[in-house]
Amino acid sequence: MTRNTNDLTHSYIDSPEKQKKLYKRTLFIVGLSQIFGGAGLAAGITVGAILAQQMLGTDAFAGLPTAIFTLGSAGAALIVGRLSQRYGRRAGLATGFIVGGIGAIGVVFAAIINSIFLLFASLLIYGAGTATNLQARYAGTDLANAKQRATAVSMAMVFTTFGAVAGPNLVDVMGKLALAINVPALAGPFILAAVAYILAGLVFYIMLRPDPLLIARAIEANKQEHDNQKDCTSSEQTYNKRGVAVGATVMVLTQIVMVAIMTMTPVHMGHHGHGLREVGIVIGAHIGSMYLPSLVTGILIDKIGRTAMTIASGVTLLLAGLVAAMAPSDSMGLLVLALSLLGLGWNLGLISGTAQIVDATEPSTRAKTQGTIDVLIALAGASGGALSGMVVAHSSYAILSLSGGILSLILIPVVIWARGSKKERTLKVNKEL
């Protein structure tokens, strides 16, 4: 078995044509899984806060579900990253999605027996699906060259759109289905999440062969062996660390802002007479804007550059915060616009940040580094979710939205600093030559 595996790996090392075909096939597999993963992700976003609000009887802790499953995704991101590092993308991603599906089943039972403890424990496990849905984007970049990386990430996210948009708009349908089988209506979307996450895991487990990360490592090792490459210079290592730091900062900040405003929007709408159907429309538009623009944003990031598009992310998030803060509570149009801008800003930040991480890492350590960074992203989301309810309870939704928009402006000096560091490194290398 080992010999056959080695022979298969070497057949890809010696054939650029086979590498290209595997790259395209991997993108297709990632895309297919993301359709299911997006639907599973949408359930917790759409009704998680409302479910907790009903069970707890207070708004102050309405952000806890998002915080808990995001916290769960932090631990899962580390585990999925380590599994992928050791055994490849197939093992890590399949495990993460299936565990997330088990968590969704737990949420359904928690709603049936009205158990807060089981709800929170299940949401923690459900977070594994969220983490895996995010980490799946890396699989498409393993065999991509430097000019394809943002585009590869965007391709995975485009497919997420189909499930992510369908999920919130199926809230009403799944609620009626749940009631028909004597399950609380708000648990309905989590039935969809359980099926979707498990299907996503099975797609990876059955179809992701050979593993793109293992092939990428073998290609890199072969290249170093034939080129007699030495260890990175001190300046290159410093640049790579800065690249990782900047990419992580971009994704962490966009995640905090996006999660905080998104989490409290359904609760805000509920207070002003909007029903589940209206909430589903707004959140559907938001999630669509998180993923659908990937049709073009990945290409723009590869062509225009990581820096310019990160600045665009900060400006877009600021506009989202301003519109959300000023929108009349009964204005569906402005709420849709605000949440759409919020999704677009997140999209720009996530893809540009991910591309910077891939640029600054090698295949030999990439999965472990990516998993660790996704832990930070998840913790940022958990913090944003937990604090959002408290901010609104003690001030207002408008203050929360405005604060998030202002916070996003930090992205601009961060990427300008990174650009300056890159210029310094280029000058140093030119002098050495």
Whether 229 has a pLDDT exceeding 60, the answer reads no
**pLDDT tens per residue, range 172-201:** 888 889 899 998 888 888 999 999 999 999
Whether 360 has a pLDDT exceeding 90, the answer reads no
Whether 218 has a pLDDT exceeding 80, the answer reads yes
Q: Report d(CA 197, CA 132) in Å as an integer.
A: 10
Q: Report d(CA 134, CA 326) in Å as an integer.
A: 31
pLDDT at 322: 95
Whether 58 has a pLDDT exceeding 80, the answer reads no
**pLDDT tens per residue, range 127-152:** 899 889 888 988 988 888 878 889 88
pLDDT at 427: 39
Tokens linked to 132: 């895996």
pLDDT at 384: 84
pLDDT at 53: 75
**pLDDT tens per residue, range 251-268:** 999 999 999 999 888 888
Averaged over 314-341, what is the pLDDT? Answer: 91
8 Å CB contact between 194 and 69 = no
How would DSSP label each residue in 402-433?
HHHHHHGGGHHHHHHHHHHHHHHHHHHHHHH-
How would you classify residue 89: left for phi > 0, otherwise alpha for psi between -120 and 50, otherwise beta? alpha
Q: Report d(CA 40, CA 48) in Å as an integer.
A: 12
Lowest-pLDDT range of 103-107, 349-353, 381-385, 403-407: 381-385
Label each residue of the chain as H, E or C. CHHHHHHHHHHHHCCHHHHHHHHHHHHHHHHHHHHHHHHHHHHHHHHHHHHHHHHHCCCCCCCHHHHHHHHHHHHHHHHHHHHHHHHCHHHHHHHHHHHHHHHHHHHHHHHHHCCHHHHHHHHHHHHHHHHHHHHHHHHCCCCCCCCCHHHHHHHHHHHHHHHHHHHHHCHHHHHHHHHHCCCCHHHHHHHHHHHHHHHHHHHHHHHCCCCHHHHHHHHHHHHHHHHCCCCCCHHHHHHHHHHHHHHHHHHHHHHHHHHHHHHHHHHHHHHCCCCHHHHHHHHHHHHHHHHCCHHHHHHHHHHHCHHHHHHHHHHHHHHHHHHHHHCCCCCHHHHHHHHHHHHHHHHHHHHHHHHHHHHCCCCCCHHHHHHHHHHHHHHHHHHHHHHHHHHHHHCCHHHHHHHHHHHHHHHHHHHHHHHHHHHHHHHHHHHHC
pLDDT at 346: 95
Query: Which residue type occupies 284?
Result: G
Q: Structural domains in the chain? A: 17-219+233-425 (1.20.1250.20)
Q: Report d(CA 188, CA 99) in Å as an integer.
A: 19
Closest to 248 measured CA to CA, from 360, 157, 142: 360
Whether 400 has a pLDDT exceeding 60, the answer reads yes
pLDDT at 340: 95
pLDDT at 200: 95
8 Å CB contact between 416 and 112 = no
Averaged over 205-216, what is the pLDDT? Answer: 92
pLDDT at 338: 94
Query: Which residue type occupies 139?
Result: A
pLDDT at 38: 84
Q: Report d(CA 294, CA 245) in Å as an integer.
A: 23
Closest to 256 measured CA to CA, from 405, 367, 121: 405
8 Å CB contact between 381 and 73 = yes
| Residue 433, CA distances (Å) to 169, 234, 430 in order | 59, 16, 5
pLDDT at 432: 42
Averaged over 290-319, what is the pLDDT? Answer: 91
Share of the chain above pLDDT 70, in %: 88
> Which carries the bigger pLDDT value, residue 4 or residue 396?
396
Confidence of residue 429 (pLDDT cuts 50, 70, 90): very low
Confidence of residue 59 (pLDDT cuts 50, 70, 90): low
Whether 226 has a pLDDT exceeding 80, the answer reads no
Q: pTM of whole model > 0.75?
A: yes
Q: Report d(CA 305, CA 3) in Å as an integer.
A: 42
Torsion of CA 337, 288, 361, 311, to 10 degrees: -20
The pair phi, psi for residue 144, each rounded to 5°, is: -85, 145
pLDDT at 382: 77
Confidence of residue 419 (pLDDT cuts 50, 70, 90): low
**pLDDT tens per residue, range 81-104:** 999 999 999 999 999 999 999 999
Confidence of residue 169 (pLDDT cuts 50, 70, 90): confident
> Is residue 218 within a helix (H) or strand (E), and if so which, with residue range?
helix 212-227
**pLDDT tens per residue, range 10-45:** 788 878 888 889 999 999 999 999 889 888 877 666
When the pLDDT of each residue in the chain is averaged and rounded to a whole number, the result is 84
